[in-house]
C-alpha cells in the first residue's frame, strides 16, 4: 500500500532523531517547514522533501504537507515523536489490511513518565495523549478521505481540536477510523511555568467545535468534559461580588476557587516546592483565563464559522533536498471514468425532477422531460445508480424527514427504482461533510453500492454537484437549468444539454 509521511516542523532539534528513525523511508517523507521567517534551510537527509508551510498553525501546515503528496495514504507524525522499532513494517501491514470503508488508521502513543516520582501537572497533561482519539502525533488517513472533507479546518489555529474536528468530519462522510498496533513514544517537552494558562486559549476552539458538530461533540470525539463549569462559577462569583461592591465576597470566592483547584492539581503531583508554588499562582489565574477564552470564542464564533475552510488546492510545492530541482504536482486521485462507469449518481431536484423548492408534497413531483426513457436505457445497460440530494429544508424547519421520504417514493413511482437514497439534512452554516459541494454524499453512495468513488459519474444541475464530484475523484456532468448560473456552466469540465443526453453519454463505451 502506497503511503507518504508528513511531518510539520518549527525546527525542533528532535526532528533529526525522528528522520534518523525513518531511515529507509526518506523518499516517502515530506517535512513541512512552518517557521515564520526566512531562516537557514532545515537540515534533512538528501532524499527527504521539504514543503514550505504557511505559518498559520498546525492545521494549515498539515494541509500543505498532504497536498504535496500523491500516495493513497498520508501518515502524519509530530516532529518530536520517536517511532518504536518495527514501526514502518507495522504501518504498512495495517494500511494493507484496511478495509475500503476505513478512512483512517490511528497509531498508539506512549508518553513516558518519570520513574521514582509522581508526574507534574504538565506531564499528566501530556500523558493524556495516550487516550486521545485521532491524535495526529501518529495518524494515517486515506488521501481521498482528506480530499473529500477538505483536509484540516484552518479555522482551528492551534494544536488543540483540529484533529478531533477532522476525525468527526471523516466519520460524518461515511469513513471508519480504526486503531492499529504501531507505536510511537511522545516524550514530555519542556514547558514554561505558565503553560497551563496559555493552554486555556483552546476554550475558544471548544465553542467552535460545538457550533460545527453539535452539543454532543465531546461524547462522539471521546473528549472529557473538563473543569470549565467550575471555572465559570468561580469567575461569575468574583464578578458578582465586585459588581455588588462586596469585595470581601469576591475575595472569598476567589480564594475558595483557587484553593480547590490548586489542591486538585497538587495532590497527584510530586509536591515539590516549585510544583506547589506553580500550581498555587496559576490556579489563582486559571479560571479567568479559561472563562475569558470561552467568552472570546462566543464573541467570534459567527465570524469564524463564516470564514472559508480553505478547501485543498492542487498538490505541489515540495522540494527534493540534494537534487536542486522542484518536484512538480501529482494527481491526487485517479481521473473520473471515461468509459463505462461502475455507477451513476444523480442529484434529485432539477436533475431527475423539476425543482420545486423545499418540496414536501408528493403530488408536486414532475419528472424532467425524457427522464423515464433514459433511465430505462440505464437499467437495460445494468449500471447501478443512487441519488445524492441536499435537503436543507429539514434544517430550516420547512420539511420533515418523513416528507422527504414520501417525495422520494413518488419519484421512484414515476421513474422506477433508483438505488440507495442519500440526502444531507443540514444547512449551509452547519459545516458538515455531506452537504454538496462537500463530497460526503458521493462517498456514502459509493460505499453503499460497493464501488470506487473514482469509478462513478455524478450528474447534477448546479455547480455544487460537479464540485463535489471533483472532490471525490469522480466524473461530474452538469445539466444546466434556468437556475444554473452562467459562471457554473463556464467552470464545469463537462456539460450536457439535458438528462437523456448525459445518461446516453456515460453509457456509451469509450465516451
Q: In this predicted model, what pLDDT tens digit does every residue of 142-172 receive, in sequence order? A: 998 898 888 999 899 899 999 999 999 998 8
Helix (H, G, I), strand (E, B) or coil at 318: strand
Question: Which pLDDT score is estimated for 139?
Answer: 97
Q: Per-residue pLDDT tens for 396-418?
A: 999 999 999 999 999 999 999 99
Residue 383: closest CA among 424, 337, 349, 422: 337
Give the tens place of pLDDT for each residue, 6-36: 999 988 899 999 999 999 999 999 999 988 7
Residue 243 banded pLDDT, cuts 50, 70, 90:
very high
Q: Is residue 248 within 8 Å of residue 227, measured between CB atoms?
A: no
Q: How confident is the model at residue 380 (pLDDT cuts 50, 70, 90)?
A: confident
What's the rounded Cα separation, in Å, for the pair 416 and 404? 17
Q: Is the pLDDT of residue 314 over 80?
A: no
So what's the pLDDT on residue 1?
Answer: 63
pLDDT of amino acid 225: 85
- Checking if the pLDDT of 434 tops 90, the result is no
* pLDDT score of 477 more than 50: yes
Peptide bond into 409 cis (omega under 30): no
Instruction: Convert the pLDDT of each residue in 108-150 to its tens digit.
Output: 999 999 999 999 999 999 999 999 999 999 999 999 889 888 8
pLDDT at 327: 30
Q: For residue 38, what pLDDT is reported?
A: 55
Q: Is the pLDDT of residue 321 over 70?
A: no
CB atoms within 10 A of CB 322: 11
What percent of the chain is predicted at pLDDT more than 70? 92
Task: Provide φ and ψ at 178, rounded to 5°.
Answer: -120, 165
CB-based contact 237:257 (threshold 8 Å) = yes
Report the pLDDT value the prediction gives residue 432, as an integer from 0 to 100. Answer: 79
**pLDDT value of position 508:** 81
Is the predicted pLDDT of residue 322 greater than 80, yes or no? no
pLDDT at 339: 64
Which residues are identified as catalytic? 347, 349
What is the predicted pLDDT for the residue at 110? 96
* 8 Å CB contact between 143 and 69: yes
Most confident of 93-102, 273-282, 319-328, 370-379: 273-282
Q: What is the pLDDT of residues 331-349, one digit of tens each?
A: 333 334 456 789 999 999 9
Higher pLDDT, 136 or 323: 136
Residue 118: per-residue pLDDT: 96
Region 343-507: CATH code: 3.40.50.1000
Which pLDDT does position 156 carry in this prediction?
92
Alpha-carbon distance of 80 to 78, in angstroms, equals 6
Which residue did the predictor score with more confidence, 38 or 358? 358
Give me the mean pLDDT over the 291-299 stretch.
94
What local confidence, expressed as pLDDT, does residue 309 receive? 52
pLDDT over threshold 60, residue 511: no
Report the chain's mean pLDDT, rounded to a whole number.
88
Domain boundaries, the chain: 3-190, 192-311, 343-507
d(CA 162, CA 196): 19
pTM of the model: 0.63
Report long-range pairs for 198-201 (Cβ below 8 Å, ≥24 apart): 199/125, 199/160, 200/286, 200/289, 200/290, 200/292, 200/293, 201/158, 201/160, 201/293
What is the homologous superfamily of the domain 3-190 according to CATH? Spore Coat Polysaccharide Biosynthesis Protein SpsA; Chain A (3.90.550.10)
Q: In this predicted structure, what is the pLDDT of residue 316?
A: 34
- Find the mean pLDDT for residues 236-244: 94
Position 306 scores a pLDDT of 63
User: 499-507 and 371-381 helices cross at what angle (nearest 10)?
Assistant: 10
Is the model's pLDDT at 179 over the cut of 90? yes
As a whole number, mean pLDDT of residues 447-452 equals 88
Neighbours of 359 (CB within 10 A): 23
pLDDT bracket for residue 215 (50, 70, 90): confident
Pairing of β 49-52 and β 318-320: antiparallel
Looking at residue 338, what is its pLDDT?
A: 54
Amino acid at each position: 500500500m502506497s503511503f507518504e509521511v508528513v511531518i510539520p516542523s518549527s525546527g525542533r532539534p528532535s526532528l533529526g532523531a525522528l528522520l534518523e528513525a525513518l531511515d529507509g523511508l526518506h523518499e516517502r517523507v515530506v517535512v513541512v517547514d512552518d517557521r515564520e521567517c526566512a531562516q537557514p534551510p532545515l537540515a534533512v537527509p538528501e532524499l527527504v522533501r521539504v514543503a514550505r508551510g504557511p505559518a498559520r498553525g498546525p492545521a494549515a501546515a498539515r494541509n500543505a504537507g498532504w497536498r504535496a503528496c500523491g500516495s493513497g495514504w498520508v501518515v502524519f507524525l509530530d516532529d518530536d515523536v520517536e517511532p518504536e522499532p518495527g514501526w514502518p513494517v507495522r504501518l504498512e501491514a495495517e494500511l494493507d489490511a484496511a478495509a475500503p470503508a476505513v478512512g483512517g488508521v490511528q497509531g498508539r502513543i506512549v508518553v513516558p513518565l518519570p520513574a521514582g516520582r509522581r508526574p507534574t501537572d504538565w506531564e499528566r497533561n501530556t500523558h493524556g495523549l495516550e487516550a486521545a482519539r485521532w491524535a495526529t502525533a501518529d495518524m494515517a488517513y486515506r488521501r481521498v478521505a482528506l480530499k473529500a472533507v477538505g483536509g484540516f479546518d484552518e479555522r482551528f489555529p492551534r494544536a488543540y481540536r483540529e484533529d478531533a474536528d477532522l476525525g468527526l468530519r471523516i466519520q460524518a462522510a461515511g469513513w471508519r477510523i480504526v486503531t492499529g498496533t504501531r507505536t510511537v513514544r511522545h516524550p514530555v517537552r519542556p514547558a514554561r511555568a505558565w503553560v497551563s494558562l496559555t493552554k486555556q486559549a483552546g476554550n475558544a476552539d471548544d465553542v467552535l467545535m460545538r457550533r460545527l458538530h453539535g452539543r454532543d461533540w465531546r461524547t462522539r470525539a471521546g473528549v472529557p468534559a473538563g473543569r470549565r463549569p467550575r471555572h465559570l462559577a468561580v469567575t461569575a462569583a468574583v464578578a458578582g461580588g465586585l459588581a455588588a461592591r462586596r469585595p470581601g465576597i469576591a475575595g472569598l470566592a476567589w480564594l475558595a476557587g483557587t484553593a480547590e483547584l490548586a489542591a486538585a492539581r497538587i495532590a497527584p503531583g510530586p509536591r515539590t516546592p516549585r510544583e506547589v508554588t506553580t500550581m498555587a499562582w496559576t490556579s489563582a489565574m486559571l479560571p479567568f483565563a479559561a472563562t475569558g477564552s470561552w467568552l472570546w470564542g462566543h464573541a467570534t464564533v459567527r465570524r469564524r464559522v463564516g470564514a472559508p475552510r480553505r478547501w485543498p488546492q492542487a498538490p505541489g510545492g515540495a522540494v527534493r533536498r540534494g537534487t536542486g530541482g522542484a518536484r512538480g504536482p501529482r494527481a491526487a486521485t485517479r481521473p473520473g471514468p471515461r468509459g463505462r462507469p461502475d455507477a451513476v449518481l444523480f442529484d434529485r431536484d432539477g436533475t431527475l425532477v423539476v425543482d420545486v423548492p423545499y418540496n414536501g408534497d408528493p403530488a408536486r413531483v414532475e419528472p424532467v422531460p425524457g427522464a423515464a426513457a433514459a433511465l430505462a436505457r440505464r437499467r437495460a445497460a445494468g449500471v447501478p445508480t443512487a441519488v445524492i440530494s441536499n435537503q436543507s429544508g429539514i434544517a430550516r424547519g420547512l420539511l420533515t424527514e418523513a416528507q422527504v421520504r414520501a417525495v422520494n417514493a413518488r419519484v421512484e413511482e414515476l421513474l422506477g427504482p433508483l438505488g440507495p437514497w442519500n440526502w444531507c439534512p443540514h444547512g449551509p452554516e452547519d459545516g458538515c461533510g455531506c452537504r454538496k459541494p462537500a463530497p460526503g454524499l458521493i462517498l456514502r453512495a459509493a460505499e453503499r453500492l460497493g464501488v470506487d468513488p473514482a469509478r462513478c459519474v455524478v450528474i447534477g444541475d448546479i455547480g455544487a454537484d460537479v464540485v463535489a464530484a471533483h472532490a471525490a475523484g469522480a466524473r461530474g456532468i452538469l445539466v444546466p437549468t434556468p437556475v444554473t448560473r452562467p459562471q457554473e456552466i463556464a467552470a464545469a469540465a463537462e456539460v450536457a444539454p439535458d438528462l437523456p443526453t448525459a445518461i446516453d453519454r456515460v453509457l456509451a463505451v469509450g465516451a
